[in-house]
Structure 1
């Protein structure tokens, strides 16, 4: 693995909330591996439970979801919902107003899930809750919990969301660290961040913001 010596900076388009009805339709897709990575900037004044993304299938609304809440010390704690089971809020990072890179990985074959923050694995688990594939024909929504399939939105995210990427693959820790450093992977994506492919609610703003990368690496 090679590192560059200096920081890099690029310009990114992000969406600013409250995030309402930012969605992708994932059609005719059943997956046994799933990786979702995104960069988020929490509103430091918002303290309620926030949904980073929610994936709902017609047969189960809480099929795959990432949510966060702020504790009394000002840290954000993340939790996954997989196949309707809500895992504990354990992975955490400072609510410092900065952009943070978050990746969640799930594998039925490996019977394993993990949450990464800024390239570091913060929480992991395994068990019988991963014994089936993720249901297809679903809807992935940014910044809202789906209490019904594609609707009845609750627990909004306040802040910026950008650089959402989705894979039906198994990424290793070194790949996640490379993504945090703005380095590309060779894995084919199910979805690559592109605002033209996302339907947005009219209250959501599109803003341009700097993205600082600590240094690209080659994997």
Structure 2
């Protein structure tokens, strides 16, 4: 039993039969030409749909091809009738019998057409299944893409959180190492002091032995004097005693200071931290006492409570609204302070006020606020390069304004207030109650975004890190505060005069969460006591 033949084989067989019929007899040249053309057209139009279908031609193109095949079928039928009529005419004229079997050709063509229709239906079904599979694959791809986006976002947030935790742990470790170094230095100083005390005790023991021998000698001399007094009856006993007492006084006063006495003075100085004049006064008073009292004090170690502690009087305070102070002792990238709080909402107005005392030739970074999108979102700093008498007030890098700072670099306390409003972009710069600079159209309508990182003493080149030693602050900051509104000139003047602190401050030195390096947080209500 023969298998089912493919459309290609059927087309070839039909074409061969057509040629065989047309070329039977081999007498008519026109018939041969017509047969060859018909064979070529049938072969080309049968093979083209199959090759296109294998390459994945779209459904619209396949429908156009079917319409074209229908048109060709109609044209072929008309051509068949014309050919049959023409052949019959030729046969009559030349006495040639027409043996072309058009019925067989029609059957072959119908069979080929059925095969093509079945193949077209099968192809359309395959295309439809392929289309549905493509849609489902597109849906799965979209779901995978959204899942991948969510995973990427979560991974980025996790990395950002881990980075902040690493910065905090690194800062805590550096602070702990500084504390350990300080404790180690204190332990070393205590050990050296212990060695000195042990040496002093040994010296005291040796000096005590020497004085015991001297006391024994003095007792023997007193016994000899008593013997002389008992034997001499003619002389006045009190007069002889006075003479001997005078000899002893002169002997004691002319004796050089012993090593024990000098060690005693050093111990007094260390235990009481009194100036040398107090000890000399006590020595002068001890030499003016009677001999017996001098000997008693000589062999008794002084008690600490016997020496009064003189407190130096404090300076009269006038500005007592600062609360506390931060001390930045040196130029280092390790010296900075971090705030516990940050901005919860967007900022359209702000006021930054502080007392500052600069110990360098440039201002350095007073305040730095960075976000994920901009590490210079809000900065007030001057750096150790370029013009030293200027500092930059930055809002949304790279937009900034230059403010004069030459009068701040004299090593004295100065009160500074910088105010900004997004309405018309106005800003004001006050120094010691006086308006130094102002302007407009500075970030008009701008909003400072929330959720950033606030640092004092260093300028952030990344979120909470990448500090530059040339931009570090060296000096003291007292009474620092930040408001999310504009202060009036009366409030600024009241702050500088020490009359009080305006309400509504969102950040102050009480909100400092962590101090790194050698930064110290000193409590002092009045500015005159912040040293």
Q: TM-score, normalised by structure 2?
A: 0.35
Over 3 Å counting, the alpha-carbon distance change for 1:103 and 1:128 in structure 2 is closer
Over 3 Å counting, the alpha-carbon distance change for 1:205 and 1:150 in structure 2 is same
- How big is the alpha-carbon RMSD for the aligned residues of Structure 1 and Structure 2? 2.9
CA contact (8 A) 1:47 1:69 kept: no
Question: 1:181 — aligned with what?
Answer: 497
CA contact (8 A) 2:408 2:414 kept: no
CA contact (8 A) 1:112 1:125 kept: yes
Over 3 Å counting, the alpha-carbon distance change for 1:128 and 1:80 in structure 2 is closer
SS in structure 2 of the partner of residue 93 of structure 1: helix
Matches within 5 A, 1:193-208: 193-194=509-510, 197-207=512-522
Question: 2:506 — aligned with what?
Answer: 190
Over 3 Å counting, the alpha-carbon distance change for 1:31 and 1:94 in structure 2 is closer
Question: 2:484 — aligned with what?
Answer: 168
Separation (CA, whole Å) in 2 of partners of 1:89 and 1:186: 24
Bigger Rg, structure 1 or 2: 2
**1:152 to partner: Cα distance:** 0.7
SS in structure 2 of the partner of residue 163 of structure 1: strand
Separation (CA, whole Å) in 2 of partners of 1:191 and 1:8: 24
Tell me if 1:104 matches 2:418: yes
SS in structure 1 of the partner of residue 346 of structure 2: coil
The number of equivalent residue pairs is 204
Structure showing the higher strand proportion among its residues: 1
Separation (CA, whole Å) in 2 of partners of 1:165 and 1:128: 22
Matches within 5 A, 1:101-180: 101-127=415-441, 129-154=443-468, 155-180=471-496
Question: 1:81 — aligned with what?
Answer: 394
Matches within 5 A, 1:51-66: 51-66=365-380
**1:70 to partner: Cα distance:** 8.0
Separation (CA, whole Å) in 1 of partners of 2:351 and 2:440: 16
The Cα offsets for residues 44-84 of structure 1, whole Å up to 9 and x where unpaired, read as: xx22561111111222111111113689xxx8433311111
Question: 1:216 — aligned with what?
Answer: none
**1:126 to partner: Cα distance:** 1.6
Question: 2:327 — aligned with what?
Answer: 16
Separation (CA, whole Å) in 1 of partners of 2:394 and 2:378: 5
Structure showing the higher helix proportion among its residues: 2
Separation (CA, whole Å) in 1 of partners of 2:435 and 2:391: 12
SS in structure 1 of the partner of residue 495 of structure 2: helix
Give unpaired runs (5+ residues) of structure 2. Answer: 1-315
Separation (CA, whole Å) in 2 of partners of 1:125 and 1:9: 30
Separation (CA, whole Å) in 2 of partners of 1:61 and 1:137: 12
Structure number with greater CO (CA < 8 Å, separation at least 6) is: 1
Separation (CA, whole Å) in 1 of partners of 2:392 and 2:379: 8
SS in structure 2 of the partner of residue 81 of structure 1: strand
Separation (CA, whole Å) in 1 of partners of 2:497 and 2:438: 22
Separation (CA, whole Å) in 2 of partners of 1:12 and 1:27: 22
Question: 2:192 — aligned with what?
Answer: none
Question: 2:382 — aligned with what?
Answer: 68
Over 3 Å counting, the alpha-carbon distance change for 1:170 and 1:9 in structure 2 is closer
CA contact (8 A) 2:363 2:409 kept: no
The Cα offsets for residues 107-156 of structure 1, whole Å up to 9 and x where unpaired, read as: 11242112211111112222152321111111221111001111111210
